[in-house]
Structure 1
Amino acid sequence: EILPESFGRLVNLQYLDISYTKLRELPKTFGNLINLRYLEFSTPLTCLPEEVIGRLTSLRTLKISDSDELTSLTEGIGKLTRLRSLIVFFCPKLASFPSGVRYLTALEELEVFNCQNLMTLSESFASLTSLRKVEIKRCPKLLSLPEGIDNVPVVEIDGKDLNTFNQIHSIRSPVQSSS
């Protein structure tokens, strides 16, 4: 299935959930949804089309789920400079994140669940000073975290995955003063 090209005329659309559809591709006019703030989808695509995703510059939340064939996220994701939340789960073939994530300067939250082949998080995540929470669960092949990730206030890693992170030497915990 494919969305009609006319879908791109919904320029005032702000929230879109196209999860659990059988969409095989996104029309190029999908990039015309310049006011879209929330996008949630699952897709049989192997890669997100850069010419579409990179134009959704008002996006605040991108949630990608149950995308069995997705092997990579596009470098165009780096153009989403207003993105605050990136949530990726049940993408078993996703192996890494693109270096373009370094441009996600507003990103506050990264959640990655059940990405069975994810081996690395881009080192670029560590340079994102707005990042407040990183949550990783059930990513058994992920062998390391980016250098500098210890500057993120909240890092949650599924206990079963801790055995794979041999580079973790200490875990900081904020201490509250009782005075």
Structure 2
Amino acid sequence: MYDQRQVRMDLSKKQGNGRGRYIEEERLEIVNLSGMSLDSLPNPSLNLSTICKLDLSNNNLESIPESLTARLLNLVAFDVHSNQLKFLPYSIGCLSKLKILNVSGNLLHTLPKTIENCRSLAELNANFNKLTMLPDTIGFELVNLKKLSVNSNKLIFLPQSITHLASLRVLDARLNCLRSLPEDMEKLINLEVLNLSQNFHYLENLPCSLGLLVSLVELDISYNKIKRLPDSIGCMKKLQKLCVEGNPLVSPPMEMFEQSLHAVKEYLREKMNARHKSPQKKKSWVGKLVKYGTFSGHMMRGAGLGERERFIMSEYRSIDGLASPRYMGMFSPRRLFSPRTYFTR
């Protein structure tokens, strides 16, 4: 498997603090078997526990032996993108030190439940597969996950447990079949980038808890069927970029989008203010906004704020002809050629 005539191998070398001292990482190896047209993996010729990075990408692998992953005890990065994998081994849960896992560009319909045992995982890339669902409990144990990319799949929903990914900074779920989002989005306190674009005919509504994403900087909801933005978005203090093109939006009205992000936020806050003063019973999410300190029940204006925000928007045009499911993939015309319309600072 790791014959020197075939394998491009680099040893990880690091100096010790004292003369003659060597840290454990000096004995760990980086093994690169990318692009070697492998259909299967022959028996290894070295100790698998010495490998810290293993690249098996761009091959023709249909499976990974359970016995292989079970012995990769020091593996930190595992790259198997662009193969023919239909499933991942259950023993992947043995990779307790794994931080980066790239399984994109395969034929995966599901991820093994044991993946939640990879508690050191910081980045998971499962783009361009055939995923119809994620493990129900995936969010409960992956406490260190910072980036989750599941774009270009067939996901209908995201599991409720995903809201427990408190370390998550980037969530990319574009080009799926999402019909809704979990209600308790406010638990993602470190989320900075959320991409829900190009779920086309499926995603029609956003939860009000979206406005409680206190760290969110970029939100992309373009090319969906959203008619109304949640009023709570007006309270997103750190939001700098909002992509909305390709939606039949009626609230806020289109003239708001022609002005600035500040104008849109102000419009939504005004709506919320009116609702807050209404004698009717307050919505529970409004109470949460007050609790989180993002909404005080009155308008918030900042001197000069509008001058720092600007909005660029091309003319809205229907994409019904190009938004059919057959275009939802790696070479989607909407993905490759659609004009980018966004709020920015």
- TM tier, smaller: 0.7 to 0.9
Measure, in 2, the Cα distance between the counterparts of 1:128 and 1:149.
9
Asked if 1:33 is matched to 2:118, the reply is: yes
Matches within 5 A, 1:24-173: 24-42=109-127, 43-68=129-154, 70-91=155-176, 93-116=177-200, 117-139=202-224, 141-152=225-236, 153-161=239-247, 164-169=248-253, 170=256, 171-172=261-262
Residue 34 of structure 2 corresponds to none
Residue 106 of structure 2 corresponds to 21
Measure, in 2, the Cα distance between the counterparts of 1:142 and 1:61.
25
SS of equivalent to 1:39? strand
Larger relative CO (CA 8 A, sep 6+): 1 or 2? 1
TM-score, normalised by the number of residues in structure 2: 0.47
Deviations 1:84-123 (A, max 9, x none): 11111110x2111111322111111111221111111221
Deviations 1:62-104 (A, max 9, x none): 1111112x1100001011011111111110x211111132211
**Is there any run of 5+ residues in structure 2 with no aligned partner, and where?**
1-85, 264-305, 309-345
State the shift of 1:158 in Å. 4.0
Runs of 4+ in structure 1 over 4 Å off: none
Measure, in 1, the Cα distance between the counterparts of 2:212 and 2:174.
23
State the shift of 1:36 in Å. 0.7
Contact 1:76 1:100 in 2 (8 A): no
Deviations 1:35-56 (A, max 9, x none): 1111111343322112234321
- Equivalent residue for 2:95, pick from 6, 10, 23: 10
Measure, in 2, the Cα distance between the counterparts of 1:172 and 1:60.
29
- Residue range with higher mean Cα deviation, 7-16 or 35-44: 35-44
Identity %: 28
**Is there any run of 5+ residues in structure 1 with no aligned partner, and where?**
none
For the aligned residue pairs, the C-alpha RMSD in angstroms reads: 1.8
Pair 159,2 (structure 1): closer, same or farther in 2 beyond 3 Å: closer
Measure, in 1, the Cα distance between the counterparts of 2:185 and 2:130.
23
Residue 175 of structure 1 corresponds to 307
Residue 81 of structure 2 corresponds to none
Measure, in 1, the Cα distance between the counterparts of 2:194 and 2:113.
27
| Equivalent residue pairs, number | 171
State the shift of 1:7 in Å. 0.9
Contact 1:63 1:87 in 2 (8 A): yes
* Partner AA of 1:59 in structure 2: L
- Residue range with higher mean Cα deviation, 126-135 or 44-53: 44-53
SS of equivalent to 1:172? helix
Q: Which has the higher strand share?
A: 1
